[in-house]
Every structure is written in C-alpha cells, then in structure tokens.
A and B are shown apart, each in its own frame.
Chain A
C-alpha cells in the first residue's frame, strides 16, 4: 500500500512570493491533516479535513494561508505571500477509523520550505 505522498520535497522562494504544497493521502483515508514543523520542534496542526470539509482550521493563519481538498482526496496548502518566518517543514498526514477506537495518523515525508 502506498503511503502519503507529498510534493515538492524542497522549495526555495523569495519572500512575498506565493507557494503551494500538494498532498495525496493513503487510499481510502477520509481524514487529512496539514502540520507545520519548525526546526527543533514537534509538528503543530494547521488544518484537518473530513472528506472535503475543513472541520478544524483554528490554527491556520487565514490572512496568508489557504487550503483545499477538492473531491475529498488530494489536498493543496497555499501561502501567499510567503514571509521569512514561514520557513519550516510542512507535513501532511492521513487517517481512517475503519475499526477499533484509534485512528492512527500516517505522515508523508514533508516539504521543506525555505523563504529567502
């Protein structure tokens, strides 16, 4: 079974430029998460989708960040315009509660963003 796929793996942009990250979750996983991981820190949730609905976006800086999950499968996270402080790793994860009580989150390899 293929894991969570993310692209690109690395992105370098100038500040004030737009940038987009793409995520393809594990097949059949209806829940998708975007996390932000700063250097030396644990991941922090930005947004969670149940199918195509964003059910928790309280931590997403909505002035410059946006996300979408059309058709409830792939998702795109966008930053416009990017700031120096946005340099970090952006992780995507997916899960599915098919049985049992725990829906374990499976992570992709992340996109390392560098804003110059």
Chain B
C-alpha cells in the first residue's frame, strides 16, 4: 500500500524568507502523480502544485516549486518570498496513474506559521 510521510509536524518562517516542506512516499508504481494541497483555517483544501512522476522537470507555480527526487521517493515543496497568507496546513498527496485507482493518499500535514 502507498504511504505518504511528512516528517515536519510544524514549521515556521519569517515573512519574505524561503521555507522547504518535506515529503516522502512509498510506492511500487513507476507512474504516479504527486500533489501539494494547502488548507487554511477556513478548511478549504486548495491545490498548490502538482507533479507527474514521468516528468523529470520540477513543477513551479509562481513562488511555489518542488524538488522531485524519484529515486529517493522525495517530493519537497519550496515556498519563496513567504507571505502572511501562506500560513496554513500543507498536505502532500499521492495518486497512482491509470486504471481505476483515483484515490488520493495524504500525509498527516505540516502546519506552516509565517512570522511578520
């Protein structure tokens, strides 16, 4: 069974600084998708960034980028120029590709605090 591990329950960063959130996963599949979701206190899960495992190039979305290391099964999220609005719980998620398995497997989350 696939598992997703986020080893940092909490992280903090100063406004305008850079922070990296860690995520590792376990799978025997060769093709899959990885996601980072953000969940503010309002609870609405918002997609931050996604990565297809067959693509070697790391995904980027404005201030958010990932470091995808397929061999190490690592998928970290880097937030540059952190803003107060980035404060939230961040979840890493895995989904196998193909077939009928659409299930997202989530990690336990990392609570990010942004200090002014």
How many angstroms between the C-alpha atoms of A75 and B104 in the bound complex? 19
Q: How far is the CB of A43 from chain B (nearest CB, A)?
A: 5
Q: Is the CB of B52 within 8 A of A101?
A: yes
Number of interface residues of B (CB under 8 A): 23
User: Within A1-19, which residues are at the interface with B (CB < 8 Å)?
Assistant: 3
Q: Which among B42, B102, B103 is the interface contact of A109 at CB below 8 angstroms?
A: B42
Q: Which residues of B come within 8 Å of A, CB atoms?
A: 4, 33, 35, 37, 42-47, 50, 52, 91, 93, 97, 100, 102-104, 106-109
Q: Is the CB of A56 within 8 A of B103?
A: yes
Q: Is the CB of B93 within 8 A of A107?
A: no
A40-B108, A42-B109 given as contacts; is B97 within 8 A of A109 (CB)?
Answer: no
Q: Which among B35, B102, B109 is the interface contact of A48 at CB below 8 angstroms?
A: B102
Q: How far is the CB of A76 from chain B (nearest CB, A)?
A: 20
User: Within A82-116, which residues are at the interface with B (CB < 8 Å)?
Assistant: 89, 91, 93, 95, 101-110, 112
How many angstroms between the C-alpha atoms of A43 and B108 in the bound complex? 8
How many angstroms between the C-alpha atoms of A55 and B102 in the bound complex? 10
A42-B91, A102-B50 given as contacts; is B103 within 8 A of A48 (CB)?
Answer: yes
Q: Which among A43, A56, A106, A107 is the interface contact of B102 at CB below 8 angstroms?
A: A56
Minimum CB distance partner of B97 in chain A? A101
How many angstroms between the C-alpha atoms of A45 and B46 in the bound complex? 17
Neighbouring A residues of B37 by C-beta, 8 Å? 107
Q: How far is the CB of B6 from chain A (nearest CB, A)?
A: 8
Q: How far is the CB of B61 from chain A (nearest CB, A)?
A: 12
How many angstroms between the C-alpha atoms of A55 and B42 in the bound complex? 30
Q: Is the CB of B44 within 8 A of A43?
A: no
15 additional A-B pairs beyond A43-B45, A44-B106, A101-B52, beta carbons within 8 Å, are A41-B108, A42-B106, A42-B109, A43-B104, A48-B102, A56-B100, A93-B45, A95-B102, A101-B33, A102-B33, A102-B50, A102-B52, A104-B35, A107-B37, A107-B44
How many angstroms between the C-alpha atoms of A69 and B93 in the bound complex? 26
Neighbouring B residues of A107 by C-beta, 8 Å? 37, 44-46
Q: Is the CB of A105 within 8 A of B44?
A: no
